[in-house]
């Protein structure tokens, strides 16, 4: 797919946030100098877009140092903001790294119900199968027949094995069996899909910890990646999910989905700043192409309503 159409998807996916942020920045600066009251409004606007209080305050300070009482254009302030945001995102914008190796890489995927775990696994499985890796899946959400079925449909389409167990079976037992079989099959990657909801949060965390304990019995270096899938429409709530899952399941990387459904896209920036965990991918819509590798420059530019320079260069070629 061309750069332009990927960016088109990113642009339409981030539209709600960029319209709020970009539109209000324009209003804010109409015939005004960058005095203290404009800076206050600038800070409020960033907070409204879910960038978080800490970063919003830092950006206000940084802007005021550079340009206090100067005339500033709409374009100027967007460029300032995009550069600052890109600086925050750059250290965490890391694609998930999987390769052909001697031993199976186990990727555990966690997150609350409906956040996009199964969708993400399906798209990752497709991508790595196409790259030539031998991928297998296991449906550890054993309490929901629909969840198992959803994964089986994807596995069927891709022609890859999906391990399942009867309704209500022990998730950890299934995970143990799947890791054992995937290793015997010399699979390159095994994705473990997990439940997002059990009778309560404690039950969910206990089950996840049990899954982790049990797969370590097969391979003490597993899971090699533990990915937390977050729904961006929950805004700052995503922070408490990161804290809990990080503590309970040792999250190694994040995927932020449903950015198309919210004006709170700034939450990606506050997550990056707060935890420093790699952000492997973002979801900006329901199509397969809408799960994109997270690119700091493209995201920052698009979020504030600018066009990434790479796209411009590509168009001029
Ligand atoms: N608009 C939009 N929808 C998405 C995105 N990612 C996932 N979805 C949709 O969100 C819904 C839930 O996705 P799932 O992948 O089933 O979520 P899950 O985490 O596996 O959910 P449970 O198995 O119930 O815990 C589906 O209808 C997806 O199509 C996204 O980036 N944008
Ligand atoms: Mg699911």
Q: Which residue's CA is the nearest one to ligand 1's atom 7?
A: 116
**Gap between the Cα atoms of 253 and 94, Å rounded:** 9
Summarize pLDDT for 98-139 with one digit per residue, the tens.
Answer: 988 889 999 999 999 999 999 999 999 999 999 999 999 999
For position 163, what pLDDT does the model report?
97
Arithmetic mean of pLDDT, 242-263: 95
Arithmetic mean of pLDDT, 141-149: 86
CB-ligand 1 contact for 114 (6 Å cutoff): yes
For position 27, what pLDDT does the model report?
86
For position 313, what pLDDT does the model report?
54
Indicate whether 60 pLDDT > 60: yes
Q: Which residue's CA is the nearest one to ligand 1's atom 13?
A: 116
Please indicate whether residue 4 or residue 138 has the higher confidence score (pLDDT). 138
Arithmetic mean of pLDDT, 251-272: 96
pTM for this one?
Answer: 0.94
For position 69, what pLDDT does the model report?
60
How far is ligand 1, taken at its centre, from the CA of residue 117, in Å?
A: 7
Q: Which residue's CA is the nearest one to ligand 1's atom 25?
A: 113
Indicate whether 207 pLDDT > 60: yes
**Gap between the Cα atoms of 36 and 169, Å rounded:** 61
For position 153, what pLDDT does the model report?
93
Q: Which residues surround ligand 2, an ion (CB under 5 A)?
A: 117-118, 147
Q: Point out the ligand 1 atom lying closest to the alpha carbon of residue 114.
A: 21
Summarize pLDDT for 152-189 with one digit per residue, the tens.
Answer: 999 999 999 999 998 888 999 999 999 999 999 999 99
For position 198, what pLDDT does the model report?
62
Task: Report residue 315's pLDDT band, with 50, 70 and 90 as the boundaries.
Answer: very low
Q: Which residue has the tokens 């206050």?
A: 40
CB-ligand 1 contact for 260 (6 Å cutoff): yes
CB-ligand 1 contact for 283 (6 Å cutoff): yes
What distance lies between CA 43 and its chain's CA centroid?
25
């Amino acid at each position: 797919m061309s750069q332009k159409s990927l960016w088109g998807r990113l642009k339409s996916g981030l539209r709600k946030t960029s319209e709020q942020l970009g539109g209000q920045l324009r209003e804010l600066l109409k015939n005004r100098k960058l005095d203290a009251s404009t800076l206050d409004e600038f800070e409020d606007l960033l907070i409204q877009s879910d960038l978080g209080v800490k970063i919003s305050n830092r950006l206000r300070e940084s802007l005021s140092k550079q340009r206090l009482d100067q005339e500033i254009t709409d374009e100027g302030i967007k460029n300032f903001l995009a550069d600052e945001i890109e600086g925050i995102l750059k250290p965490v914008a890391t694609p998930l790294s999987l390769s052909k190796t001697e031993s199976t890489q186990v990727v555990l995927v966690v997150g609350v119900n409906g956040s996009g775990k199964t969708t993400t696994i399906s798209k990752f499985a497709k991508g790595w199968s196409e790259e030539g890796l031998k991928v297998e899946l296991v449906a550890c959400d054993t309490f929901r027949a629909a969840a198992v079925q959803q994964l089986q449909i994807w596995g069927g389409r891709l022609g890859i094995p999906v391990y399942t167990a009867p309704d209500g079976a022990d998730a950890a037992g299934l995970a143990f069996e799947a890791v054992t079989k995937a290793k015997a099959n010399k699979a390159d990657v095994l994705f473990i899909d997990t439940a997002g909801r059990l009778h309560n949060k404690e039950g969910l965390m206990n089950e996840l910890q049990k899954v982790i304990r049990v797969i370590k019995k097969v391979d003490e270096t597993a899971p090699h990646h533990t990915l937390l899938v977050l729904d961006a429409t929950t805004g700052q709530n995503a922070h408490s999910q990161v804290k809990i899952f990080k503590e309970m399941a040792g999250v190694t990387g994040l995927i932020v989905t449903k950015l198309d459904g919210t004006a709170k896209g700034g939450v990606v920036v506050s997550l990056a700043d707060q935890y420093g965990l790699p952000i492997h991918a973002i979801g900006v819509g329901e199509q397969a192409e809408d799960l994109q590798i997270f690119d700091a420059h493209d995201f920052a530019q698009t979020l504030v309503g600018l066009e990434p320079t790479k796209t411009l260069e590509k168009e001029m070629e």
